[in-house]
Amino acid sequence: MKWFLACALLAGCGRKAKLSPELDVPGSAEDVTQVRAGEVIETGARWSGGGLCLDIPADWDARGSGNGVLGTLRHEPSGVDITVVEYVDEEPLNERSGYKLEFEDQSAYRTISLFHDGGTRTWTSNEPDGPTLKEWFGTVGSHRVHLEVVLPFGRVIQGTRAVETLFAALKTTC
C-alpha cells in the first residue's frame, strides 16, 4: 500500500500536465499496439512515450497512464516503482509532502545520458522507515521528462541496481 501512496504522490495530484490517455507500444514498425491508462504492458513489449523507448525487461511490470504520466513501472524483486512524467506547461514539483530534499544538481551529476540539460534530486522520507525518492530529469527532443523513482526502505542498493539496468536500456528510437 505504501508504494501506491508514494506513486500517487509522485504522479502529482493536481498537477497540470499534457493529457496522454494512450501510449504507443510498437511490436514492430508495422504493428503498433495502443495501451490505455492502467493496462498492463507485457514483459518484452516495446513501450514509447516522451521521446523515450524501452523494451520492458523481465522482472518489471509496466502500465500505461494518463494526465502527463506516461507510464509506471514496478520491479517486483526490489519493490522499486518508477513513474515516467512529461511536463508541458508547468514546472515540476519542488516540494514533496512528507519528504526532505537531500541532494539536487541541475546540471550534469548522475544524469541519464539521453537527457539534455538534465539533473537529479534525492528526497528522504520524514518517517524513519520511509522510502527514498530519486528523480532524474531532462529534455529528450522537445519533451521535458522526469523519471521519478521510489526506493523502499532497506532496499536502496538493490533498487538502485535494478534502476540503473533499466535506465541503461532506455533509448530514443524504437
Could you report the per-residue pLDDT of 93-112, keeping only the tens digit for each? 678 899 999 998 887 666 67
CB 133 within 8 A of CB 46: no
Using DSSP, state whether 102 is helix, strand or coil.
strand
pLDDT-derived band at 113, boundaries 50, 70, 90: confident
**Could you tell me the domains of the chain?**
2-169 (3.40.1000)
Which spans in the chain are helix H?
2-11, 156-169
Q: What is the pLDDT of residue 42?
A: 66
Using DSSP, state whether 158 is helix, strand or coil.
helix
